[in-house]
């Protein structure tokens, strides 16, 4: 069936096209490269072995000395997506407030760069490592090195797989993210009582990120019955995780996939739902849909994750339907408690000791709660919660 959705900000759409192109993933490369280069010019060298590598020079390194507490290495995946920039900034600020020295590194989705950054952190004598991995299985050797050196590891947001060197895991309820996205779609279209069918395509996360599989499972737990009874129709036929996952959460690949679906399968019938696992994918779908001539008249439901600033603006203008708000301040807070636990013998807060088996051990975890946001509740959740100001959203 054809979806009819009201769009508030038709006037904004020209500006939105411009801003969307510098969103996450591939299209953002130019912008974020610049940011990275700027940042790397302030590189400090006191935390490295002195074996200068390409990775060292190409990356941001911010090391700050404070009075006491020990040194924490924080390895983050990329600055190409806004959420990780916030995560890094929150972790750094909160650890420094407690007197820890922080070595914060971004590896720009380059797995080898992340390995060498962590090696350098170990060599520089960090007391604890916090790692948000790029490829969660690729760090096994460097994690073993840390363990041998007596350095505890906390997994941040993404589970570290196939290692017994990880002490704790701070994250969001990743399956809960999937169910929240799917339930939003279910409610919005009242799928349980639908008399017509809706077309849907899936854009799932990176196969090397354990979170992506959890999210997919959450989505399917809610939507599988609707695929089975024909309420949801995926014309590309691609509904498995293997067929819909997107390596390294690439916005460009999401856009390409969406373009291919629209050309190949939706020439005669509109696509009603872009069920995406990430705001970056939502930007890619938005660009593809605009390219294919979709307007306010037939704009589909587009889901996302992270409630990035641009995504929230797109929600306000009607170009994205919803996102999953993940308060990275809270995640950092829980993770910092874990750092304190391993360094000072304090008690971290744990609320899951079952779900996160990494292939070697079940990692004690704290799962923060993800919240679906849309036009109706973003003010209460995001603005009143102090995540973004009205001014930021109006820019
Ligand atoms: C995170 C998401 C994020 C995605 C892409 C996942 O591991 O949990 O919040 O959208 O990576 O960066």
Q: Residue 368: what are its φ and ψ, rounded to 5°? A: -80, 160
Ligand 1: residue of 157, 161, 212, 368 to mutate (most ligand atoms within 8 A of CB) is: 157
Per-residue pLDDT for 56 more than 90? no
The number of the ligand 1 atom at minimal distance from the alpha carbon of 132 is: 7
Whether residue 185 contacts residue 213, with contact meaning beta carbons closer than 8 Å, is answered with no
Q: Give the model's pLDDT for residue 223.
A: 98
DSSP codes joined into one string, 17-58: HHHHTTSSTGGGHHHHHHHHHHHHTT---TTS-S---HHHHH
Select from 261, 291, 325 the last residue of a domain: 325
Ligand 1 pocket list (CB less than 6 A): 81, 83, 157-158, 209, 211, 249, 278, 305-306, 326
Q: Are 182 and 301 within one domain?
A: yes
Summarize pLDDT for 121-175 with one digit per residue, the tens.
999 999 999 999 999 999 999 999 999 999 999 999 999 999 999 999 999 999 9
Report d(CA 319, CA 149) in Å as an integer: 50
Q: Are 15 and 121 within one domain?
A: yes
Residue 69 lies in a domain: yes
Q: Are 89 and 16 within one domain?
A: yes
Counting Cα atoms < 13 Å in the Cβ hemisphere of 259 gives 12
Select from 307, 325, 343 the last residue of a domain: 325
Q: Are 204 and 69 within one domain?
A: no
Residue 152 lies in a domain: yes
Q: Are 320 and 342 within one domain?
A: no
Residue 216 lies in a domain: yes
Cα of 49 to ligand 1 centre, how many Å? 31
Q: Are 93 and 181 within one domain?
A: no
Residue 375 lies in a domain: no
Q: Are 199 and 286 within one domain?
A: yes
Residue 389 lies in a domain: no
Q: CB within 8 A of 232, min separation 6: which ones?
A: 191, 197, 198, 199, 200, 223, 226, 273
Cα of 81 to ligand 1 centre, how many Å? 9
Q: Are 50 and 153 within one domain?
A: yes
Stretch 325-341: mean pLDDT, rounded? 96
Q: Are 297 and 335 within one domain?
A: no
Per-residue pLDDT for 371 more than 90? yes
Select from 270, 295, 325 the last residue of a domain: 325
Cα of 87 to ligand 1 centre, how many Å? 11
Residue range of the domain that includes 143: 2-173+327-369
Stretch 301-328: mean pLDDT, rounded? 98
Q: Are 284 and 316 within one domain?
A: yes
Q: Are 23 and 118 within one domain?
A: yes
Residue 380 lies in a domain: no
pTM of structure: 0.84
Q: Residue 2: pLDDT band by 50, 70, 90 thresholds? A: very low
The number of the ligand 1 atom at minimal distance from the alpha carbon of 157 is: 8
Number of domains within the chain: 2
Residue 334 lies in a domain: yes
Residue 385 lies in a domain: no
The number of the ligand 1 atom at minimal distance from the alpha carbon of 84 is: 12
Ligand 1: residue of 306, 308, 310, 368 to mutate (most ligand atoms within 8 A of CB) is: 306
Higher pLDDT, 52 or 75: 75
Domain of 212, CATH number, reads 3.40.50.2300
Q: Give the model's pLDDT for residue 309.
A: 97
Per-residue pLDDT for 63 more than 50? no
Q: Are 229 and 255 within one domain?
A: yes
**Torsion over CA: 271, 279, 109, 146 (sign):** negative
């Amino acid at each position: 069936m054809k979806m009819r959705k009201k769009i508030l900000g038709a006037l904004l759409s020209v500006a939105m096209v411009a801003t969307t192109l510098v969103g996450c993933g591939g299209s953002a490369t130019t912008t974020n490269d610049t940011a990275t280069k700027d940042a790397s010019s302030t590189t400090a060298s006191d935390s490295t072995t002195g074996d200068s590598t390409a990775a060292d020079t190409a990356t941001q390194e911010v090391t700050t000395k404070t009075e006491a507490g020990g040194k924490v290495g924080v390895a983050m995946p990329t600055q190409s997506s806004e959420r990780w920039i916030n995560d890094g900034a929150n972790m750094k600020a909160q650890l420094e407030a407690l007197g820890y020295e922080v070595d914060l590194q971004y590896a720009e989705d380059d797995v080898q760069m992340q390995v060498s950054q962590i090696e350098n952190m170990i060599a520089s004598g960090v007391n604890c490592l916090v790692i948000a991995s790029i490829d969660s299985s690729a760090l096994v050797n460097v994690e073993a090195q840390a363990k041998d050196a007596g350095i505890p590891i906390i997994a941040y947001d993404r589970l570290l797989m196939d290692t017994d060197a990880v002490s704790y895991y701070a994250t969001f309820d990743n399956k809960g993210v999937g169910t929240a996205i799917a339930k939003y779609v279910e409610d919005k279209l009242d799928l349980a009582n639908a008399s017509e069918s809706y077309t849907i395509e899936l854009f799932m996360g990176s196969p090397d990120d354990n979170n992506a599989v959890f999210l997919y499972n959450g989505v399917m737990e809610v939507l599988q019955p609707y695929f089975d009874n024909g309420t949801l129709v995926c014309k590309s036929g691609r509904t498995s995780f293997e067929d819909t996952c997107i390596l390294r959460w690439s916005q460009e690949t999401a856009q390409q996939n969406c373009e291919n679906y629209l050309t190949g399968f939706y020439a005669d019938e509109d696509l009603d739902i872009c069920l995406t696992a990430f705001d970056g994918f939502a930007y890619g779908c938005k660009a593809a849909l605009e390219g294919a001539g979709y307007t306010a008249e037939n704009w589909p439901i587009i889901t996302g994750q992270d409630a990035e600033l641009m995504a929230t603006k797109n929600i306000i203008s009607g170009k994205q339907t919803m996102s999953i708000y993940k308060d990275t301040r809270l995640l950092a807070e829980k993770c910092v408690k874990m750092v304190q636990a391993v360094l000072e013998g304090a008690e971290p807060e744990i609320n899951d000791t079952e779900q996160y088996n990494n292939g070697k051990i079940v990692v004690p975890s704290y799962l923060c709660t993800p919240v679906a946001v849309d036009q109706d509740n973003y003010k209460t959740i995001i603005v009143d919660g102090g995540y973004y100001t009205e001014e930021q959203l109006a820019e």
